[in-house]
Structure 1
């Protein structure tokens, strides 16, 4: 795909594995996201949500240098008023509306909105050359796509404060130690591992996997008693599905289960 000024989103689906890959495709600008790309990302998320050909999603950036450095700073000055800026199309909001499980394959820089993008995914894998950071304070503002909330949950308040207040990035090994990412891989192994992991998740009962995603998010927002009760309710709903019946029959018959999302 030829890159244009506004950049692009590449969206491909492996129907056999039921895995979609969304690629931020503006490598010459380190995959900085333009408003055009943000709208295309929303369209890709919508397609993933409605398609049963997609049961897991891999999100990555084109090239080896950068996952994404967030919003294109030159585009940020195009809003007529602060209120227009406040109500802009936000690609992180779109990703958090993704019902299917998502894996961020962080190849290189994940800065500002790029880090927020990765944090909006369920699982994060990083290449050994990845650098993750929240540099907004160096420019006079802070992140607005969930940076503080998601970074503090993943890395802990102290580590989040270090990143948010200095604006300095951390390397892949530190990100692993701080639980910002689950695995660190060599660059050539990153996407193959992400796709294998996505295919494994896609092979599981889809209603159960999507419910697990909902349950994880709820667990961080509820009291312990509420979270336990909510989980029990979700378990009951899953247990009543045809897929759960199929899972029990397949287990008893020692065969692979044929999950049909119902």
Structure 2
């Protein structure tokens, strides 16, 4: 691990804080490795049912990869095959919420888009500025923007590199909610707490199902959904949910 990334678990919620505010929470290779390790622990631990990702301080969620570290890779092929923090977040089986404070630029925007739900403070700003430096994003930038904001809005961001504010991000569907800065983390944890109160296996399969809706043909996605439903229906948690409904009480889900 590294001091520049904090990872805690409480009340079934894991919190990952990108903690390098003096560098706008720009990611180093060591921080990427730490984030990969955090996701591995989230996937392994039954104590984790939802994850909140944010940046330390008020200025930035993350400015993406620290550009000063990029020349450390011996070849473009080494750069291509680096440990990618966005890949790590996409590999998280638990639902992930991005609480975006300040700048989400380049890999920072990709980090947010690798999460399942995005909320933002009113001071959040989003950009894909790589084109201004001579390259493009490589952590899912185009795919994430096209899915979230639509092809024209994605093209606007990718081809200009210009920044958009939180209100425009909300209008384009890039984020689900915009809140006051002092409410951001509380709101992120409120959403995570609701998810953590639901049946964990159902939440994880719902996440798989949503991804399938984007990547599979229509008929195959529906077929896959029915398979996932059958798996969920056979769990102890589903039996507990039906019993709790019949007995008019709150269910006690155990991730079994």
TM-score range, shorter chain: over 0.9
> Aligned match of 2:170 in 139, 158, 176?
176
Note if 1:250 corresponds to 2:244: yes
Give yes or no for the alignment of 1:260 onto 2:250: no
User: Contact 1:7 / 1:36 at 8 angstroms: preserved in 2?
Assistant: no
> Residues 1-262 of structure 1 correspond to what in structure 2 (within 5 A)?
8-14=4-10, 17-262=11-256
| Distance across 2 between alignment mates of 1:81 and 1:12 | 35
Check conservation: 1:7, 1:33, Cα contact below 8 A.
Answer: no
The CA distance in 2 between the partners of 1:243 and 1:49, in whole Å, is 19
Q: Give the drift of 1:72.
A: 0.1
| Secondary structure, aligned partner of 2:72 | coil
Aligned length: 255
* CA-to-aligned-CA distance 1:197-227 (integer Å, 9 cap, x gap): 1011001000000000000001101111111
Q: Deviations over 1:110-160 (max 9, x none)?
A: 000000000000000000000011000000000000100111000000000
Q: CA deviation at 1:77?
A: 1.1
Q: 1:69 to 1:198 in 2, by over 3 A?
A: same
Distance 2:12 2:58 in 1: 25
Deviations 1:34-81 (A, max 9, x none): 000000000100111111111000000000110000000000011111
The answer for the alignment partner of 1:3 in structure 2 is none
1:7 Cα offset (Å) = 5.8
Alignment TM-score, normalising by the size of structure 2? 0.98
Structure 1 runs (4+) deviating above 2 angstroms are none
